[in-house]
Amino acid sequence: GIQVEQSPPDLILQEGANSTLRCNFSDSVNNLQWFHQNPWGQLINLFYIPSGTKQNGRLSATTVATERYSLLYISSSQTTDSGVYFCAVLFSGGYNKLIFGAGTRLAVHP
Amino acid sequence: SQTIHQWPATLVQPVGSPLSLECTVEGTSNPNLYWYRQAAGRGLQLLFYSVGIGQISSEVPQNLSASRPQDRQFILSSKKLLLSDSGFYLCAWSAVGTDTQYFGPGTRLTVL
């Protein structure tokens, strides 16, 4: 089956720093989503990005489908950015199955 | 706008007891519905999905079952819980014909 690998597994930043999170996937996929899981467990949709680049405030994402990776950029990090960031690729076989990576755990310190 | 609800938020149950977790979606019709489980420190694994009332597909063999008695209601059940059933259970929905899945707040289950 499709494998999804995220790096780094853990990241510690000082407030104001920038970071790049990476997601590699092993096969062609129909789509990719980035999520932020806050400390209470809520999964928040960040981007739905099959290819190209999208930006939303301090966050942006780029997916290069032909090379099977996606990047999530966080600029000027804030303590509220802390949590776990997941990428999930979409496998369509009659329904939309999301296959998740193991996540990148981010801690932003003041 | 659409909203998704799950309850209870947390649950502590003894081994061998039954389980019923509920998920409801508001503001949409005929959604695709999903149950995922997240083990501690891990990503999410799809357990069940449903494309309509009474239509349930299972992704992995396990001690759990799912039902969809109404269009916007999805229930996760077990007759006898195991220690290994502990985890964080999330319900999700997607609109027919679209890819994006939206997640509920989750239920944290501890089996003792």
A49-75: average pLDDT: 96
CATH number of A61's domain: 2.60.40.10
Quickly state the pLDDT bin for B76 (edges 50, 70, 90).
very high
| A67 DSSP assignment | G
> What is the per-residue pLDDT for A31?
87
Q: Which residues of A touch B103 (CB under 8 A)?
A: 35, 42-43, 45
- Percentage of residues in chain B having pLDDT higher than 90: 81
The candidate with the shortest Cα–Cα distance to A2, out of B48, B23, B46, B111, is B46
Residue A93 has pLDDT above 70, yes or no: no
Q: Do B101 and A96 touch (CB under 8 A)?
A: yes
Contact with chain B for residue A102, Cβ under 8 A: yes
Q: A with B: how many residue pairs have Cβ under 8 Å apart?
A: 56
pLDDT tens digits along A23-48: 999 888 778 999 999 988 899 999 99
Residue B77: Cβ within 10 Å count: 13
**Which one has a higher pLDDT value, A73 or A97?**
A73
- pLDDT, tens digit (0-9, with 9 covering 90-100), for B3-57: 999 999 999 999 999 999 999 999 999 999 999 999 877 789 999 999 999 999 9
Query: Which residue would you say has higher pLDDT here, A1 or A84?
Result: A84
- If you average pLDDT over every residue of chain A, what do you get? 92
Are B32 and B52 in contact, with CB atoms under 8 Å apart?
Answer: no
SS3 A80: helix
Rg (CA), chain A: 13
Q: Which domains does chain B have, with CATH numbers?
A: 3-104 (2.60.40.10)
Residue A96 burial (CB < 10 Å; 0-12/13-18/19+)? buried
The predicted-structure confidence for A1-20, as pLDDT tens digits, reads as follows 788 999 999 999 999 999 99
By CA distance, what is B95's nearest residue in A?
A96
pLDDT of residue A94: 56
pLDDT at B93: 95
The string of pLDDT tens digits covering residues A53-63 is 999 999 999 99
> How many domains would you assign to chain A?
1
Range of the domain at A12: 4-109
Place A92 in a pLDDT band, splitting at 50, 70 and 90. low
